Amino acid sequence: MNEFHFSTPNSDSEPGGDSLELYTIGVQEFQPDQFLVLVVDDAVGNLNLVGRILDQGNYKTIFASHGVQALEQVPMVQPDLIVLDLMMPDISGLEVCKKLKRNPKSKNIPVIFLTASDNKKDLVEAFAYGAVDYITKPFSAPELLARVKNHLELKHSRDLLKQAITKLERLAKTDPLTGISNRRHWMTLANQEFKRAQRYESSFSILLIDLDHFKTVNDTYGHHAGDQVLIATVRVIQSKLRQQDFFGRWGGEEFVVLLPETPLEAAETVAERLRFGVETLVKDPPVEQVYPFTTMSIGITSCGVKDINLDSIIQRADQALYQAKEKGRNQGVAIAPHGLEYLSPTNSDNQSR
Ligand code: GH3
Ligand code: MG
Ligand code: MG
C-alpha cells in the first residue's frame, strides 16, 4: 500500500473525527473484485464472452442486453465502468453514452466501446460522446483486461484525489481543537457578509469573546484541562447560536461570532445568552470542582453606515471587549457604531430560541 502522509501541527484529536496526528490518504492496491463492470451488448454470445473474461480478471459484473435496460440499470447499480457495444438495434451505443454523460449521476463513469470495426468516423464520434476508449472485435482477453484495468485505476485515482482535496479544503477552514471555523475562514465569511450588508443596507453584529483568567485554568489544571474547557465552551456557544450565525476561533481563548441581520440590541441579548450559558456550565456541580473559573467577557458592536471595512467593526468590538474586562469581566459591553446602524428587518424577537 502506497501512502501520502500529511503531518499537521496539532496532534490532538479533532472533533470532526479526523485524526490530525497523521492525515493519511491511502492509495490502495488495485483490487478488481471491488469494481463492478456493466457489459451492454445485444448479442448474448458477446455478453458471455466478455463476462467470462472479466470473471477471470476477478471483476464483479452485471449485464444488459439492450440500451434501454442499461440506462435503467446504471442509476440503480452505479457501475464503476461500462463496456458498451457500439451497434445495437434499439438505441445505439452512442446514444446510450450521450444520455449517460448528460446525467450528473453517471457522467463520470468511464465508457469503453466495443466496436465491430475500427471505422475512424465512428470512433471519433464515440470519443466526442465521452467514451474513454474502444476495443475492436475480435479482441483478446489480455487486451480487454488491460484496458478495463487502466481506466478503472484512472477513475479510482481521480476519485481519491477529489476526496483528498475536499478533506484538505475542510481542514484548511477548521480549527483543529474545536472543529469550528478558524480565523482565516471566519474572515472570508465575514467579509462576504460585510459586502452583502453594504449592498442591501442591512445590519449585522459582531461579538468578540475572550475567556476570563484562562491562564489560571491552564496553570492550575494543566493545558489538557484547558483544552477541554475550550471545547466545552464552544459546544455551549454553538448550541445557543442560529445556524446562519458565523462562529469562529479568533485565536487562543478568543472567539468571534457574526450575527447576520441582527441589530445591536438583539446582539446584546444573544451575548448575554452565551455568557450565561457558559457561566452556568461551569457552575454545574461535577464540573465546578474541576473548572471553577470559566466565565467570559464579550465585546459587542454592529455594522454602521460609516464602517468602510470589516476591520473597523472588529476594532470596535475589541474596544468593547477591553471595556468589559476593565469593568470586572464576566459581562458583555456594547459600543454602537459611529453614525447610525443600517436599518435591519429583524428585531430581538428573532433571536430568541
Ligand atoms: P483575561 O481575563 O485578561 O483574558 O486573562 P487570561 O488569563 O484569559 O488572558 P491571557 O492572555 O493572560 O492568557 C490567555 C491564556 O490562554 C494563556 C494561554 O496559554 C491560553 N491558551 C490559549 N490558547 C490555548 C489553547 O489552545 N489551549 C489551552 N489549554 N490554553 C490556551
Ligand atoms: Mg485573550
Ligand atoms: Mg482571556
Give pLDDT tens digits for 4-35.
232 333 333 444 444 433 344 555 678 999 99
- Ligand 1 binding pocket includes 177 (Cβ within 6 Å): yes
Identify which of 327, 339, 169, 341 has the alpha carbon closest to the alpha carbon of residue 259: 341
Question: Are residue 197 and residue 155 in the same domain, yes or no?
Answer: no
Residue-number span of the structural domain to which 127 is assigned: 32-170
Give pLDDT tens digits for 326-335.
999 999 999 9
Q: How many domains does the chain have?
A: 2
What pLDDT is recorded for position 346?
Answer: 39
In-domain check, residue 318 = yes
How much of the chain, in percent, has pLDDT values that exceed 90? Answer: 72
Which among 10, 11, 182, 214 is the best mutation to test ligand 1's pocket, defined by most ligand atoms within 8 Å of the CB? 214
In-domain check, residue 98 = yes
Q: CB-based contacts of 281: which residues, under 8 Å, 6+ apart?
A: 232, 233, 236, 287, 294
Question: Are residue 127 and residue 261 in the same domain, yes or no?
Answer: no
Rounded to an integer, the average pLDDT of 140-151 is 96
Atom of ligand 1 nearest to the CA of 329: 2
Atom of ligand 1 nearest to the CA of 216: 7
pTM, to two decimals: 0.74
The H or E element containing residue 151 is helix 141-173
DSSP notation for 254-266 = EEEEEEET--HHH
What 3-state DSSP class applies to 226?
helix
Question: Are residue 162 and residue 190 in the same domain, yes or no?
Answer: no
Question: Are residue 47 and residue 152 in the same domain, yes or no?
Answer: yes
- Answer yes or no: 253 catalytic: yes
Cell of 47: 455478453
Find the CATH number of the domain harbouring 340: 3.30.70.270
Identify which of 141, 135, 110, 104 has the alpha carbon closest to the alpha carbon of residue 122: 135
Question: Are residue 127 and residue 203 in the same domain, yes or no?
Answer: no
- Ligand 1 binding pocket includes 175 (Cβ within 6 Å): no
Question: Are residue 197 and residue 342 in the same domain, yes or no?
Answer: yes
Find the CATH number of the domain harbouring 43: 3.40.50.2300
Question: Are residue 143 and residue 211 in the same domain, yes or no?
Answer: no
Question: Are residue 141 and residue 249 in the same domain, yes or no?
Answer: no
In-domain check, residue 228 = yes
Give pLDDT tens digits for 191-250.
999 999 999 988 999 999 999 999 988 998 889 989 999 999 999 999 999 999 999 999
Question: Are residue 200 and residue 51 in the same domain, yes or no?
Answer: no
Give pLDDT tens digits for 79-105.
999 999 998 998 999 999 999 999 999
* Domain boundary pick from 170, 192, 221: 170
Question: Are residue 196 and residue 251 in the same domain, yes or no?
Answer: yes
What pLDDT is recorded for position 349?
Answer: 39
Question: Are residue 58 and residue 207 in the same domain, yes or no?
Answer: no
What pLDDT is recorded for position 151?
Answer: 97
Identify which of 107, 106, 69 has the alpha carbon closest to the alpha carbon of residue 89: 69
Cell of 283: 457552575
In-domain check, residue 300 = yes
Rounded to an integer, the average pLDDT of 261-269 is 96
* Domain boundary pick from 114, 137, 170: 170
d(CA 52, CA 351): 65
d(CA 335, CA 53): 75
Q: CB-based contacts of 260: which residues, under 8 Å, 6+ apart?
A: 193, 197, 202, 204, 244, 245, 246
CA dihedral sign of residues 237, 243, 245, 251 = positive
What pLDDT is recorded for position 2?
Answer: 35
- Ligand 1 binding pocket includes 60 (Cβ within 6 Å): no
